[in-house]
Structure formats: structure tokens, C-alpha cells
Chains A and B, each alone.
Chain A
Amino acid sequence: MKMENMSLSGLDNTKLEALAQDIYSDLVEDACLGLCFEVHRAVKQGYFFLDDTDQESMKDFEIVDQPGVDIFGQVYNQWKNKECVCPNCNRSIAASRFAPHLEKCLGMGRNSSRIANRRIASSNNTNNKSESDQEDNDDVNDNDWSYGSEKKAKKRKSDKNPNSPRRSKSLKHKNGELSSSVNTDPYKYNYNTGINYETLGPDELRSLLTTQCGVISEHTKKMCTRSQRCPQHTDQQRRAVRVFLLGLSATSLPDSNTAVESDGYDASDGQVLMSRLQWDGSSDISPSDSASSKASTNNSDSKKPKKKKKTSLNSTGGGGGGSGSVGGSSSQGCLAGQANRKKPKLPVPPAPSIYDNLN
């Protein structure tokens, strides 16, 4: 007899209830059998009584909630865990100073690598070894060994160089007049460090000049170790040094004459304006004067010969042109002018142009 032919509709409620009870008892028996097999396996494997614990032994392992002790009831030293032992020098250092100490101790940080590079470079020069050690000794400022380093750091904040570029204030104007105390030399740095270029090989020189300013000082005969954007030296000076040290192939810097003129106000512009006013003896400046002065500066700066533009120049205009030719509109114009007077500029080979074959 097949299941499809059978129907439950003919069964009354009592039989249906008996069927349901039967299925239920089967399920409960299955659950009991499963539990029995599980327990028997645990007994034979030996892990059934592992979770048995004695109440008296449990009291020994209760969590202790008392002040001054940890959860195990042991008194702990509050300062002991705030000290670390340096793996390099085996000194005990405060945890708050451990990271900066490790940076200097292992010599892997940013400043440490700079100092290390300087030391390597200065170790080649045996004459100035003691001097460079005095300059670059980072242990003078290394407060890793003391607990009061935070206080010293706060004191050091006020000892910053007042002539640093970040501290330099912008020029103030009062009713269109320039303030009388114009700082004529805004970039005065107190950098004594330098590298003696005579002891370095050509490869070392090339690698140094790709990352550093490299302008040779007239007094100390050492190279400037700051970046290529060093504000103390001009691009012309840097280019001249590279030509002098590496030959004509080392013109990696952009030409300072081709720099884009900025429309912003600058200190050197102010000085040029002041000198022009004093030279003129008249405070009345017409727009044509400024145009003519710009034209004259452009003509004086350009290398290629151009056709002269017809401009109506009066006496003040001529004066403006004369004074305008002192320097460009960049902030380093005066410095560049001095550099031009000091050193004759070496000829730069013309760059090959894609339009050469057309001419």
C-alpha cells in the first residue's frame, strides 16, 4: 500500500494525538540517547570530570576587589610598570620618553639620520673633527635619561631663533607709508655647520648636491648643508657651484631669470621704491612711470635682443628705469645682484629646442 493512497482525514483526534505523542517521545528519547553517548565518551576519554571544582579551592581564586592591590590580591608598584629598559643601552627610561630615546639610541629617526650623515661627512675631514662633534653632539639636548625632560622641553620652546622664517612678521603699512624700520636682511642665519668639499669624491659630491644647497662659503670654505630651497643663497650661486664642482653637465636648477614674477608686495620692491623716491625728489608718480620702469627692467633682464617699444619717457621715467634695473621683483633680487657682481656668470649651454630644425 502506497503513502499517496493513505489519508489522515479519516483518523479522529485521539489517534492524531497519539501519533503526535509518539513522535514527541521518539524525539525526547533521541535527545536522551545523544546525551548518554556524549557522557560515556567523555568518561572513557577522561575529560568528563575536568569541570568539577571544589568550593573551598574556588575561594582561593576569587577576584579581589580592594584598593591598593590587583585582582589577584598582590600589591603592585605603581611606578615600576611605567619604566622601560632600552634594549640597546640597557638603561631604565620613563615610558613616556622611551620612544624618543629609542629613536636617538638606535639612530633610526629623522634627526638622528641627519646627524649621522653629518658625522660621516665630517669624519672624512680630520681637521675639523672636534669642531663638528661640538656642533652635532645630540647628547647635549638628549633628555632621555632624566624624568624632568618635559619641563626642559617647555623651556626650550622660548629659546627659538627669532630670525627664523616662521617668526618673521609681514611688513605693516600705515596710511600707505612704509614703516621706517624695514629689516634689510631678513635671512640672517646662525649656521656654522658645513662640509669640506675638498675631501669628498665626485660621487659623494654629486649625491650631496642633489639633496643639499652646496654653496661654498667665502669665509669658511665649507658647503652649505641646507636644502636646495635654502633662502640664504640664490639659484645662480647654486648653479655656479655645481658648474664649478661637477662641470657643465650639472645644470639641474631652473634659471632664476626665467622665474615667474609675482605681483605681491616684497621688501626689496619697497627698498627700490624708497631709493627711487629719494633720487627723484618728487612724490608724484604717474601710471606711465611705473609702466616705463617695468619695461626697462624687462629689457635689462632679457637676454635676446628685442625691438624697442616706443614709449613717452619723461625725466622721472628715465630715473625709474635706472633704479628699476637694480634687481628683479623677487625677494632675493638684491642678493642676486650682489652675487652677479661678485662672480662672473658662466655661460650655460643652450638647451636643444624642438623648433631648431624649423628655423
Chain B
Amino acid sequence: MNKDSQMRAAINQKLIEMGERERLKELLRAKLVECGWKDQMKAQCKDVIREKGLEHVTVEDLVVEITPKGRALVPDSVKKELLQRIRAFLAQHSTL
């Protein structure tokens, strides 16, 4: 298990060093805006804010309520494209 965690840390570091992580993040953000995911999430946020109250809502409340819904609402096409890009990166850098 120790070896696996080290491997993950090494891959993440390589992603950050090469700037691939930022590129993937920008791609994901653009695709999510394009498919209307962001608008759906904002509507969910409005419901949470009305429920909790405008003055009493915190970031933790929003994160707890929104993150699971956000993961579920990501379209399959976006998920497939992103996973394909990650696999291509891992295959390209098989020997770190």
C-alpha cells in the first residue's frame, strides 16, 4: 500500500510539473459550462441558500450539499473524454 501511495504522489507531481493538470482542469471546466452543468449546479446552490438562509449559509454547507450532486451530474461524454486524456498521459509517461 505504501508503494501505491508513493506511485500516486509521483504521478500527481508529474502532472503538476508538466502543467497537464491545469490543462485538464481547464478542459473539464469548459466542457461542463458547455453542457449546462454549471447552470444546473447554480440552481442547486440557490435551493441550498434559500433552505439555509441568505445570512447563515457557509462554504461547508455548500460543499457538503453540492459536491455529491456535482459528481453525479457530470455527463458521460465529458467523463469519457477526460479519462481518455488521463490514460494517454499515463501511457506516454509509463517510465517515470
Q: Which residues of B contact A (CB under 8 A)?
A: 4, 6-8, 10-15, 21, 24-25, 28-29, 32, 38, 41-42, 45-46, 49, 54, 57-59, 62-63, 66-67, 70-71, 74, 79, 82-83, 86-87, 90, 93-96
Consensus secondary structure, chain B interface: helix
Contact of B87 among A9, A20, A37 (CB under 8 A): A20
Chain A proximity of B6: nearest CB distance (Å): 6
Given the known interface contacts A7-B94, A35-B41, A37-B59, the answer about A27 and B25 at a Cβ–Cβ threshold of 8 Å is yes
Q: CA–CA, A48 to B41, complex, Å?
A: 13
Chain B proximity of A323: nearest CB distance (Å): 97
Interface centre among A23, A40, A49 (most CB of B within 10 A): A23
Q: Which residues of B contact A7 (CB under 8 A)?
A: 94-96
B7 to chain A: closest residue by CB: A6
Contact B90 A20 (CB under 8 A): yes
In order of increasing CB-CB distance, the 9 nearest A-B pairs are A32-B70, A36-B62, A20-B86, A3-B10, A39-B45, A8-B94, A32-B67, A3-B96, A40-B59
User: Residue A22 at the B interface, CB < 8 A?
Assistant: yes
Given the known interface contacts A39-B45, A43-B49, the answer about A28 and B10 at a Cβ–Cβ threshold of 8 Å is no
Contact A35 B71 (CB under 8 A): no
Contact of B67 among A16, A23, A24, A29 (CB under 8 A): A29
Contact A40 B57 (CB under 8 A): yes
Q: Which residues of A contact B15 (CB under 8 A)?
A: 23
Given the known interface contacts A23-B15, A36-B62, A36-B63, the answer about A31 and B70 at a Cβ–Cβ threshold of 8 Å is yes
